[in-house]
Structure 1
Amino acid sequence: CYSAGYHPHPKISFATATSVGMESRQEYLDVTALAYPQNLSVLKGEINAALPDGMAITDLQALSFAARDLARSLWGFVYELILPADTNEEKLGVILQSIENFLAAESFPITRSSKGKTVTRDIRPFVEALSLNIKEKTVTLTVRHAQTGSVRPVDILRHVLGFSEEEMQRIGVVKMKTMLA
């Protein structure tokens, strides 16, 4: 299928947008096509041949038009937060204690300003897992996506782990996996 108008293009949609400054190791996308080769590995090869270096289709599945779209199939994400190499043992200890306190809490309300409004919401229900790998100096975050929203890695860094805006500029955020229901 193609969009209407003077410059028709294939209908392609992503389940979610990846934030600016964030890397991603895995994304899903819906492509609506009226016709495609019976052998999907042929189509995968044709698409990969046209993609830039470093980007590749790893799996391709044909779905019926009745299948749920990606946005409604989204369950959550796994992120890796890469701490600066010079993060010392004392700071790692503080991070570990913050993670333990957060995971032990039944609720964890945060307040943030957006579009001139101040909003308070409980982020604890959205976090499925949060752990620190001291040796690698990484934090792994697994978040659930619900109709009411999700939690952003930046909210975990700022409100749970206590990083300042300046410190957060030195932390890499990589979306490792998008999970579907």
Structure 2
Amino acid sequence: MSLVQVMFYVLAAVVVGSAFFVASTKNLVRSIFMFFITLLGLAGLYVLCLADFVAVTQIVIYVGGVLVLILFAFMLSGKENLELLQKQDNKFISLGKLPALLLAGLFFIVMVNVLGKADVDNLQWVQMTKNFMPFPKANDSTVENIGVNLMTFYLLPFESISILLMMALIGAAHLARKERGTI
């Protein structure tokens, strides 16, 4: 096993472990700082994949921007709201979460159905890009490669992430609009 493979497995373990900690802990401060570790580990994985532009973008936008906003939101939150969030019942399946679970299951069924019926290899724009080398060399510019790959090979994950981020934004707006004491 080469050094690059060892570094990949170490970074992947750090990213998966810290992401699991973020999702499972009730302590918001620890969750925010472990999210910082997750984002930095992802940037390290991008560097190992020779995606230097994406790694720098990850650090500047997500670590430098989004995480700082999350920290400010946490610091400006009222103590009562934070205590109520930590005291909430953390059952995964409950009657109150049934609509969300049904909606998530419906989205999963639709996604599996679309993936099963899609004939991605025979699309015209995919055929045109097969001559394009999808993997950069160490001295290549990765910006053009990123654009072509995001709009061809990784279009479905790119759009899935955009839908997930939109759902998170809607959830954040809903939580922000709740009246005091109804959390």
| TMscore range, shorter length | under 0.3
Select the structure that is richer in strand: 1
Which protein has greater RCO, CA pairs closer than 8 Å, 6+ apart? 1
Question: TM (normalized to structure 1)?
Answer: 0.24
Select the structure that is richer in helix: 2
